[in-house]
């Protein structure tokens, strides 16, 4: 037995791979979701999400409730950053089904520098990197968030949420998306205000088309 598989066997006993949704132990680390969850977790079956504009369509594999919601909260707020690979592969699979290989670049809706420092990572960036790896399409930062505005989750009403994000995204100085078809990644789509504003900023800066991708959307 090779040393690497010995180490892997040891790590699997010490930290057995668990389903990202229900956290049951699973046999194969590569699966990341148990059989039961892959049959029962609610999938998203719509192509168009009301409130999402400036995007050619949305690739969103799950509905944001129950086990998906708790998994995303662990990912964002409790340091389970390794979920990104699993989540990203679901978004990539969904984007391929919806749009084929219709894009040249993967990018993400950034958090402000202050928020990224507090959390230690930008959750949408990690998702975008994982999507990029699954699809074999490059990822690059195309937007920067200049304003540390209140979190969208603290604001009620679609109009107020649109106003809260208006103008908060600017193209990055070496804008890598000019003339390109871009897959824009965020973690959750709620009213669509955030991803629409980011898509608008990409188009204004010269992207050719924007497609939206996220792990989940609100019910
Ligand atoms: Zn499960």
Q: Does CATH number 3.40.50 belong to domain 44-64+84-217?
A: yes
pLDDT at 182: 98
Q: How far is the CA of 65 from the centre of ligand 1 (A)?
A: 14
Q: pLDDT tens digits, the chain, 219 residues: what are they?
A: 577 778 877 777 778 889 999 999 998 878 899 999 999 998 887 778 889 999 999 999 999 999 999 999 999 999 899 999 999 999 999 999 999 978 999 999 999 888 888 888 899 999 999 999 999 999 999 999 988 888 888 898 888 999 999 999 999 999 999 999 999 999 999 999 999 999 999 999 999 999 999 999 998
Q: How far is the CA of 211 from the centre of ligand 1 (A)?
A: 29
The residues spanned by each domain of the chain are 44-64+84-217
Q: How far is the CA of 124 from the centre of ligand 1 (A)?
A: 23
Q: How far is the CA of 74 from the centre of ligand 1 (A)?
A: 15
pLDDT at 130: 98
pLDDT at 204: 97
pLDDT at 1: 54
Q: How far is the CA of 19 from the centre of ligand 1 (A)?
A: 5
Specify the pTM: 0.92
Q: How far is the CA of 39 from the centre of ligand 1 (A)?
A: 9
Q: How far is the CA of 176 from the centre of ligand 1 (A)?
A: 38
Helix (H), strand (E), coil (C) string for the chain: CCHHHHHHHHHHHHCCCECCCCCCECCCCCCCCCHHHHHHCCECCCCCCCCCCCCCCEECCEECCHHHHHHHHHHHHCCCCCHHHHHHHHHHHHHHHHHCCCCCEEEECCCCHHHHHHHCCCHHHHHHHHHHHHHCCCECCCEEECCCCCCHHHCCCHHHHHHHHCCCEEECCCCCCCCCEEEEEEEEECCCHHHHHHHHHHHHCCCCEEEEEEEEECC
Q: How far is the CA of 22 from the centre of ligand 1 (A)?
A: 4
């Amino acid at each position: 037995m090779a040393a690497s598989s010995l180490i892997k066997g040891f790590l699997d006993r010490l930290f057995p791979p668990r389903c990202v949704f229900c956290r049951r132990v699973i046999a194969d680390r590569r699966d990341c979701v148990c059989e039961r969850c892959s049959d029962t977790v609610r999938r998203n079956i719509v192509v168009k999400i009301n409130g999402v504009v400036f995007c050619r369509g949305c690739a969103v594999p799950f509905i944001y409730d129950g086990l998906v919601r708790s998994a995303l909260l662990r990912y964002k707020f409790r340091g389970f950053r390794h979920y990104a690979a699993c989540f990203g592969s679901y978004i990539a699979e969904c984007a391929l089904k919806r749009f084929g290989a219709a894009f040249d670049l993967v990018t993400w809706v950034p958090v402000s520098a202050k928020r990224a420092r507090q959390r230690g990572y930008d959750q949408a960036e990690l998702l975008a990197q994982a999507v990029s790896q699954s699809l074999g399409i490059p990822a690059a930062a195309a937007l920067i968030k200049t304003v540390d505005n209140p979190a969208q989750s603290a604001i009620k009403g679609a109009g107020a949420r649109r106003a809260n994000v208006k103008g908060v995204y600017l193209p990055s100085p070496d804008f890598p998306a000019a003339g390109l078809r871009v897959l824009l990644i965020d973690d959750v789509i709620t009213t669509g205000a955030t991803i629409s504003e980011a898509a608008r900023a990409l188009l204004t800066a010269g992207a050719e088309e924007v497609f939206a991708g996220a792990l989940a959307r609100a019910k």
